Chain A
Amino acid sequence: MPLLELKGVSAGYTGASVLNKITLSLDAGEIATLVGSNGAGKSTIAKLVSGILTPMQGEVIFDGKSVKGLSASDRLRLGIAHVPEGRQIFGGMTVLENLRLGAYSVPSRLSMDIESQLAFVCMFFPVLKDRLGDVAGNFSGGQQQMLAIARGLMSRPRLLILDEPSLGVAPLLVNEIFQLIQRLRGEGITILLAEQNARQALSIADRGYVIENGQMVMEGAAAALAGSADIAERYLGIGTSIGANEDKDARMARELLRIVA
């Protein structure tokens, strides 16, 4: 039985429809990757699974049960954790406080679990271990990304959603992060990885889904996708450096020009 299934899910933001009938499934212990260019809808899928966005149509099924109507905190308790795009750490708080907030959904009576998870996470991220008392905002981008992943692990998830963990991270560190993701799978955590960096994502994943304009255009074993000429041409060569923000600014500027002209 798959751990996570999306069945004909459509979603959007006020007014605009973004995803169109997405269906995918993910077995326990797998790494699945969502690849696609800017604005394809990868982050939207991540939000649907973690529950901060509700689908307009279709169903999200986790561990055999529909998670319809469950809040983000309910889903965290079921074992779904979401490490958002752009890290989103609490910059004014210490590393330790950030980690403890990651375990916010764990009831206080399980404080032993929280402590042991903290120890586990520190073992996994030695960088953080020495700096638990430091203010997280002063960290470098790569360290912040580590912290964001560590924070996501604090709720002992069974499914970890990683949204563009390589965004704005130096190539060397990207390798490290991808190795880390593989080690997490070794710990039995299922991983849904949204990435623009398709080549690398497919190289560590078991399964791949290619999203384009809110549609699922291709899916299959990661190795097969990586080998496919079509994919290579479309996604592996291009579209790794343009940030979503630039896109937004460009649109805003155009809008303004229209008003002023």
Chain B
Amino acid sequence: MAEVLQIFVGGVLLGAIYALIALGFSLIYRVTGVVNLSQGGFAVLAALAGYTFSQRLGLPLPIALLCAVGGTTVVGLAIGWFTFVPALKKLSNANVLMLTVGILTLIEGFSLIVWGSQPYSVPAFSGEQPLEIGGLRITTQTFWIIGTAIVIFLAVWFVISRTKVGKALRACSENPSAAALMGINVKRMTLLSFTLATLIAAVAGVVVAPTTTLQFNTGQLFTISGFIAVVIGGISSFPGAIVGGLFLGLVTQFATAYVSSLFSNAIALILLLFILIYAPTGLIPSKITRRQDVREEPRVWGHLTRLAPQTAWIAAAVGIVIAVVVPLVIPAAYISSLTIAAIIFLALIGLDLLMGYTGQVSLGQAGFMAIGGYTAGYLSINYGIEPVFGIAAGVMLSLLSALVLSIVTLRLRGLYLALATLAFGLLIDSCAIGFIDITGGPSGMVGIPSFSVGPLYFDTPMSMYFLVVAVDVVVLFCLFGALRTSFGRALQSIRSDQMAASALGINIVRYKLAVFMISAALASISGSLLAYSFNFLAPEMVGTARSLELVSMLVIGGEGTLVGPVFGSVLLTMLPTIFQPLAMYKTFFSGALLILCFLYLPRGMYGVIAHAMSRVSTPKTVANSQGLAEGGAQ
């Protein structure tokens, strides 16, 4: 009994932490209709700053923590002002979600630069000696955390339901345009909610810090747990955040105690997927029906810069020549990075089809890479199976998983779709770590043979490079061909309006499923190739961090272009290799680039390049306007 109670207390503690992060999600969601995934990043930023102020600079603890929380809140205010608020006007909800992934990456990158990659541990506020209460041992920090959580909940409840500002915040969440008519400054309220959420995250961060080890990327874990909690509970109600947090905390804690710590995450995630199927609005649905304003609509797209057919053929030829020549002239050491870039590009093509063409968000694409990589690796190591069959087996398994996952995802859009795919990726992550006998667990799978086809061995970086490039080119040509048919047009119409598309008789489900399958297969092949090329596979190579990186690469390269992502992939893979000393700044820059692209270059690097090229090739715009006129006449 005492044991159960002990676990219960642990669960409540964990739940209080999750609930605090969840509260921030809920606050921003209610006012703006989007989810801010950078939440956990701010928590860790504050915690690390608190560490520096108190341990390094020797400030008294209360002052140090106050400075840390204050500083983080100011940073949050600035980031909200320059990125989040302007983005709300320009971007669709799904893209704002991605933008907040960029903010999270930016914060992690900043922490990496300042604090390095080593773990930190922070002393408890009131000593490490636990209290004994009726046979239970409870650390003093537990009281601090639960106390803080209660105070913050009461404060938020008071502000929201009892003050004029709170009413204004709620009005914005229900109907921003009517709120503006009441004289409420909607932009300011948005910024306020963002800053308040940052403040809550920062307070949570410094209080929770002593119970965990901190690393520059711990924020992801906070974000993810908070996000799961808030969806379980119901994202648009504050009690939901609390219930969801506690529920998740207890489940995780009991699962750890009675099943296995390696699978406690998996259990929570499976639970989440079930909730998404049966009660997508969470355990405590809000009374408020979501408003139907413009922000739910997809981003308004200008026409994509398409090259004239002739220019396109020339560009393709030039691209292939560059791809062939570059490895011959660059230092040999870079070739393996280039190979990785080419392998990742394969997954990106699939992701672009899914996100860029069809508008379906996926934050779990690396999950399929993991399935492909581990399946191929396992079969090749243990059964000496030909790599080609290993890849095929991986694809089969990925397709099967995609089919099962699509039971959940086909019904969802936007935010919930992002969440479901994220949950899938995390589930695969925890399987990769948990099934030690198969995957080698956290230390990875070693001894994977090189790729070979019969007697042909691709065991040098150069040979592997050419193999992968050939695969990329073939896949690209096939897809470009397919997209010229009615298939491509159907995808576009799904992207612009699902309801209208189905009203026109387009079988949305079939097309969405097809695209999802194609993208899963490509990711799977990419993962297998990665395994064969490294002769090694570790969970973080194909984990959620990779999924998020894929999204960054896609946006930086240019969505909806198929070839554009190659720029993102090469840039983010090669830069750290070429500028070794700068490797540390990679995370920071990829975050910053992602944000900048979202705000200022919606068509990514491809857009810039294609625009420049079409200018050079058609000096006058006459050709273009003629094309338009013809298009209009049809």
Residues of A that sit less than 8 Å from B by CB? 50, 52, 71-73, 76-77, 82, 84, 88-93, 97, 100-102, 104-105, 108, 135, 137, 151, 155, 249, 252-253, 255-261
Contact = CB atoms under 8 A, between A and B. Distances in A.
A92 B287 contact: yes
A92 B289 contact: yes
A91 B177 CA distance: 14
A105 B164 CA distance: 11
B490 A260 contact: yes
A203 B115 CA distance: 74
Contacts of B185: 71, 73
A255 B179 CA distance: 32
Interface in B123-174: 164, 167-168, 170-171, 174
A153 to B, nearest CB: 12
Contacts of A259: 489, 492-493, 496
A64 B497 CA distance: 47
A41 B492 CA distance: 32
A50 B504 contact: no
Contact of B164 (A73, A88, A92, A104): A104
B178 interface: yes
Contact of A256 (B167, B170, B179, B496): B496
Contact of B182 (A77, A92, A104, A261): A104
A260 B183 contact: no
A88 B181 contact: yes
B503 interface: yes
Contacts of A101: 167-168, 171, 179, 182, 184
A191 B14 CA distance: 58
Interface in B554-587: none
Q: Can you list the 3 inter-chain pairs with the closest CB atoms, starting with the nearest?
A: A73-B183, A105-B183, A92-B288
B167 A88 contact: no
Interface string B271-314: 00000000000000011110000000000000000000000000
B164 A108 contact: yes
B182 A260 contact: no
B500 to A, nearest CB: 5
Contacts of A151: 182
Contacts of B493: 256, 259-260
B496 A100 contact: no
B500 A252 contact: yes
Contacts of B621: none
B287 A135 contact: yes
Nearest to B161: A97
Nearest to B486: A260
B177 A90 contact: no
A91 B290 CA distance: 10
B501 interface: yes
A76 B490 CA distance: 47
Contact of A88 (B170, B178, B503): B178
Nearest to A74: B183
B504 A253 contact: yes
B180 interface: yes
Contact of B171 (A90, A105, A108, A257): A90
Interface string B481-516: 000001001101100110011011010000000000
B175 interface: yes
Contacts of B181: 50, 52, 72, 82, 84, 88
Contacts, number: 93
Contacts of A256: 493, 496-497, 500-501, 504
Contacts of A91: 174-175, 288-289
14 contacts: A50-B181, A71-B185, A77-B183, A84-B181, A89-B175, A90-B175, A90-B178, A91-B174, A92-B170, A92-B286, A135-B287, A151-B182, A259-B492, A261-B634
Nearest to B168: A104
Contacts of A50: 181
Given A92-B289, A137-B289, A256-B501, A102 B170 contact: no
Contact of B174 (A84, A93, A258, A261): A93
Contacts of A258: 634
B504 A260 contact: yes
Contacts of B503: 253
A104 B183 contact: yes
Nearest to A135: B287
B170 A260 contact: no
A88 B175 contact: yes
Given A73-B184, A101-B167, 4 more contacts: A92-B170, A105-B183, A255-B496, A259-B493
Contacts of B177: 52, 84, 88
Contacts of A77: 183
A261 B503 CA distance: 14
B174 A90 contact: yes
A102 B500 contact: no
Interface centre among A84, A91, A260 (most CB of B within 10 A): A260
Contact of A104 (B174, B184, B489, B506): B184
A91 B175 CA distance: 9
B165 to A, nearest CB: 10
A135 B489 CA distance: 44
Given A73-B183, A253-B503, A92 B174 contact: yes
A45 to B, nearest CB: 15
Contacts of B496: 255-256, 259
B183 A72 contact: yes
Nearest to B184: A104
Interface centre among B174, B177, B289, B500 (most CB of A within 10 A): B174
B167 A84 contact: no
A67 B167 CA distance: 27
A91 B493 CA distance: 32
A4 B174 CA distance: 31
Interface string B164-207: 10011011001101111111110000000000000000000000
A4 to B, nearest CB: 17
Contacts of A253: 500, 503-504
A83 to B, nearest CB: 8
Contact of A102 (B182, B506, B634): B182
Contacts of B287: 92, 135
Contacts of B168: 101, 104
Given A73-B184, A89-B178, A93-B170, A257 B288 contact: no
B190 to A, nearest CB: 15
Contacts of B170: 90, 92-93
A110 B558 CA distance: 54
A214 B634 CA distance: 30
Interface centre among A50, A92, A104, A261 (most CB of B within 10 A): A92
